[in-house]
Structure 1
Amino acid sequence: MRVALLTEGVRPHAPRGTGGWCDRLVDGLREHDFEWYVLTGAPGPAPADPRPGTREFALRGRRPAGRAPGAPRRRQYTAAYEQFVRALVRPGERDAFGPGLYRLAALARADRALPAFLVSAHARRVLERVWRSPGADTSAGQPLVRDVLVAADLLEQCLRPLSAPWYGTAPGGLGAADLCHVVGGGPAALPALVAKRLHGVPFVVTEHRPHLREQYLGHREAPHRWPVRALLLAFFRALTEETYRQAAILTPGSAHDQRWQLRCGADPARTRVVYEGTPAVGRPAAGPEPAAPTLVWAGALEPGRDPELALHAFARVRAELPAARLVVYGEEAVPGYLAHCAAVAERLGVREAVEFAGRPRSTADAWEAGGVVVFSALSQHRPGPLADAMLSGRALVATDVGVVREVVGPTGLLVPARDPRALAGACLALLRDEERRARLGPAGRLRAQERFAVEPVTGAFREIYLELVSHWPAFPAGAPGPRPRPFARPAEYWLADRGPVAADAATAAGHAAGAEAMAGGSRGGPSAGEPAVPAGALAEAVR
């Protein structure tokens, strides 16, 4: 099976053995042929040892080459772009996003002039006129001229995948693939949407972190005015909804992410949770616990991880167990936050019992430094850190937020967020009960091994691929162009030991024989003097 793997911002050129999720998927499904289509941040030097079958396309930097469209063609671009922009800024016309997007894609494939048009004065005038027209959503503020200029450039970058040289049925084109697998969503889904529209190729979407949610979180610190941010969020929201609507199967990385997708309009019947596998399941459990009762906390030092909650809870633990210690691993993600946490520990009177150990050599070393692992975050979207801690075999205490309950289940203690009394009580309960720690730690390790092993992930996608292709028509009736002829070449063409010349000769001979057979059949059978082809010989040729 030919699978087109569409990703964004990932260069699949890491040395073997150091790759991420996509590498593990490709290595686990060796019976399929994968081709990588990567949307990179900016063009860069070619790698010394590129992965075979990799095609890159830059989202930023110099726009793709192409001449501006002429006057008749420009009117078609203007109409399609206006329909597209109206779908972004007018709440009552959001259903026009898909038609406008596909019209732009068809025009871009015909003459490669889309990038030049999107940065032209004509496109900017359309954007300004529609954005400022009555009925447009301007709750974020009236756009200024500079907002129009910035937004036009950003929309050109967002729509740049429509101009990628990846479409068509020739070798290397998305139309020649059996299916597309989009990893991460967002702009990486644009080529899959176009391939489905033009060639009827189905696609699967895997989101371990929903792209739209990441956009909402990231645009709070974006260096643009609110009207520009609102317009970009409207684009990503409309793109996400269209992606979920057109995808054959959605595979979120957790039930928590699944609920987000369902809220954005995904069909529950086409959504299946496939956890993100990790090779760390084969890692041995942590060694003996430290002699002193020790809590360990690891993560980025930022308010969202809420290490202050762990410090306040530890002050209560220290009052009950004077020998207790707290080890904090991690680097500050907010300037000055490490000094702030140290000042909090000093104010609580536990500074001498708290060790700020910085970045650990590995997460396994961090979990081994304590007897109980503490997660005090205000939100937890990714199951990976929790699963990694559980694989250490240490007992775990965590705030009941996000994906925590789904991942930890009954193998750890869950407490409300922002509640130092509850967190301290759970930590004390485990630090004082060695038998309970010895029971919960291995139970959590077994749970993580069962859910986050690599083999179940590859097995799940093997079944999804086969099920999808078996239910999807190989040659959709609505696909443009002539329908392929499955038996246009004779069986001899596919023999591995025949060269190109012999194969072409066999093809020509097969076509001639087929024409003669059809002519003879129209006359009622073979002509006089021509031997009939034995059935056994035909079966032998097919074999």
Structure 2
Amino acid sequence: MRVALLTEGARLPAQRADGWCERLVEGLPEHEFERYLLLPGAEPAGSGAGPGSGPRTLALGGPPRGGRGPGAVRRRHYAGAYEELVRALVLPRERAGFASGLHLLAELAQQDRSLPAFLASKHAHQVLERVWRSPGADTAAGQPLLRDVLVAGDLLEQCLRPLAAPWYGAGPGGLGGADLCHVVGGGPAALPALVAKRLHGVPFVLTEHGLHLREQYLGYRQAPYRWPVRALLLSFFRLLTVETYRQAALLTPGSSYDRDWQLRCGADPDRIRVVYRGTAAVDRPAAGPEPARPTLLWTGRLGPATDPELMLHAFARVRAEAPGARLLVRGPEEAAGYREHCAEVARRLRLGDSVVFEQAAGDRADGTVAVFSGRAGRAPGPLVGAMLSGRALVATDTGVTREVVGPTGLLVPPGDPAALAAACLALLGDEERRARLGAAGRLRAQERFAVEPGVAAFRDVYLELVSRWPAFPAAERRAGVLPRPFARPAEYWVSGAVSGAVSGAVRGVAAEAMAEAR
């Protein structure tokens, strides 16, 4: 089958999916994949790429592509659809208008390709300002200023660019000719799938490794915009997520923890399949012998979320019981100056040279015990890397940690240095237990996060989805016609380059089958 793979070149590490997508494509050679990539940068690149020559791309950053704006009559149509969308964003009682406004903008964009020019025009900004300042609008984040209208208008234009992408035909390379769409990451990457389903009836499956909406909420805390702008954009992402969950044929979160979040956002539990994100690192050898000096290894990005300060306070208690122990803090800074802040905490605790800070990144655990002290364990990757190293693990019981580690490590409450220190001391003092837990953790990670089970799961997901979806979705709209799964014959896919009588016979068989399907 033909699968359109829709991804976003994300600003956030948790949303990067390139390596995972490549493993999926390599693992399912029986299917024909076409990549559609949304780029966060300002450089438009390669949107005309054909099959086999790289992904089709669309730049979300920078100014919109040149083009004529709509005429007076069409402008009124655009303004009406855009107003319906904006009212859903700022008026709590009109949230239901989000989907209809979104789809109407998409239909208008496919007719004349004037959507980017309209959204960047003063007419769109006037609509946004009038609705945003109307009675009943949600202004809990503050009254919008004129500069807020201009900034929010530009950001909405960038978010809505996929509605006008040249991807929606039924011919070669068009989303209308795909059997299904596979959205990886959510957010704006789901917009083309929503349009393809609306215009052509193509079903789509959504895979999220780290929820897009949750990452947006975390990311906008540091965004350089005033609170009214942040509130408006978060409202857009929230309603887009709800609509995506409602329209997706299947949702495949990367963990049960993410599944619970999707349920809280209104997802249908009957359409959710948890598929763990596989990693090619499962085949790498375990770490070598333990270091001669007892060493606690803390890895991660140094920042408040990973809470290295908790580890330092716990290590002060460990050192009081085991003076020869050492703490190795490894990882890059998440916030500027945070490494020096942690070093100052270590000096205040009088830890001396028993604490070593390393810039090197990586998830390979080569200490005696691997320790994670984060306040919110959203990504399983660092835990899986430490488990694959074959080292015993101590972690705070947050987020996805319990689901990943299971009974192969010691879990402690977050924010409790005494409990963290006690767990570390228990493992440092028991070599046999360390070996047993380390081996069990490695086997658990290899079994749950291997590439092959994930690829096999999506082979089943694709088959399940297409088997209950008509091959010619337009038939659903004709009264008295029963849609037929797999109605598209194998000859349908034969290239038009086939010559002579074979070509004519193939076209005849395909035409008969298509007529019968109708």
Q: Please, what TM-score do these two structures have when normalized by structure 2?
A: 0.91
Q: CA deviation at 1:511?
A: 11
When residues 437 and 198 of structure 1 are mapped into structure 2, their CA distance, relative to the original with a 3 A threshold, is same
Rounded Cα–Cα distance in structure 1 between residues aligned with 2:119 and 2:396: 47
Equivalent residue number for residue 145 of structure 2 = 144
Deviations 1:383-413 (A, max 9, x none): 1110110011100000011111111111100
Matched, 1:460 2:457: yes
Matched, 1:377 2:374: yes
Q: CA deviation at 1:335?
A: 1.7
Equivalent residue number for residue 251 of structure 2 = 250
When residues 342 and 164 of structure 1 are mapped into structure 2, their CA distance, relative to the original with a 3 A threshold, is same
Deviations 1:62-112 (A, max 9, x none): 313321111111111111111111111011110110011000000000011
Equivalent residue number for residue 363 of structure 2 = 363
Specify the SS of the correspondent of 2:328. Answer: strand
Q: Is the 8 A contact 1:297 1:375 kept in 2?
A: yes
Q: Is the 8 A contact 1:342 1:351 kept in 2?
A: no
Deviations 1:256-277 (A, max 9, x none): 1111111111000001111110
Matches within 5 A, 1:99-138: 99-138=100-139
When residues 480 and 403 of structure 1 are mapped into structure 2, their CA distance, relative to the original with a 3 A threshold, is same
When residues 127 and 463 of structure 1 are mapped into structure 2, their CA distance, relative to the original with a 3 A threshold, is same
Equivalent residue number for residue 530 of structure 1 = none
When residues 75 and 317 of structure 1 are mapped into structure 2, their CA distance, relative to the original with a 3 A threshold, is same
When residues 58 and 479 of structure 1 are mapped into structure 2, their CA distance, relative to the original with a 3 A threshold, is farther
When residues 244 and 415 of structure 1 are mapped into structure 2, their CA distance, relative to the original with a 3 A threshold, is same
Deviations 1:298-319 (A, max 9, x none): 1111121111111111111111
Matches within 5 A, 1:308-323: 308-323=309-324
Q: Which moved more, 1:497-506 or 1:483-492?
A: 483-492
Equivalent residue number for residue 525 of structure 1 = none
Q: Which moved more, 1:150-159 or 1:493-502?
A: 493-502
Equivalent residue number for residue 211 of structure 1 = 212
Equivalent residue number for residue 407 of structure 1 = 404
Matches within 5 A, 1:11-90: 20-41=19-40, 42-43=42-43, 52=53, 54-90=55-91
Q: Is the 8 A contact 2:412 2:420 kept in 1?
A: yes
Structure of higher CA gyration radius: 1
Rounded Cα–Cα distance in structure 2 between residues aligned with 1:487 and 1:29: 19
Matches within 5 A, 1:272-291: 272-291=273-292
Rounded Cα–Cα distance in structure 2 between residues aligned with 1:217 and 1:273: 23
The gaps in structure 1 that reach 5 residues or longer are 12-17, 515-543
Q: CA deviation at 1:500?
A: 3.6
In the comparison of the two structures, how many residue pairs are matched?
A: 503
Q: CA deviation at 1:189?
A: 0.1
Deviations 1:218-253 (A, max 9, x none): 111111111111000000000000000000000111
Matched, 1:443 2:440: yes
Q: CA deviation at 1:352?
A: 1.4
Rounded Cα–Cα distance in structure 2 between residues aligned with 1:57 and 1:264: 28
| Aligned amino acid, residue 160 of structure 2 | L
Deviations 1:307-366 (A, max 9, x none): 111111111111111111111111222222111111111111212111112214x432xx
Deviations 1:431-463 (A, max 9, x none): 001111011110011111111000000000000
Equivalent residue number for residue 536 of structure 1 = none
Aligned CA-pair RMSD: 2.9
When residues 231 and 504 of structure 1 are mapped into structure 2, their CA distance, relative to the original with a 3 A threshold, is same
Rounded Cα–Cα distance in structure 2 between residues aligned with 1:105 and 1:268: 29
Matched, 1:239 2:240: yes
| Aligned amino acid, residue 57 of structure 1 | L
Specify the SS of the correspondent of 1:221. Answer: coil
| Aligned amino acid, residue 383 of structure 1 | P
Q: Which moved more, 1:61-70 or 1:437-446?
A: 61-70
| Aligned amino acid, residue 302 of structure 1 | G
Matched, 1:476 2:479: no
Matches within 5 A, 1:159-178: 159-178=160-179
| Aligned amino acid, residue 291 of structure 1 | A
Equivalent residue number for residue 192 of structure 1 = 193
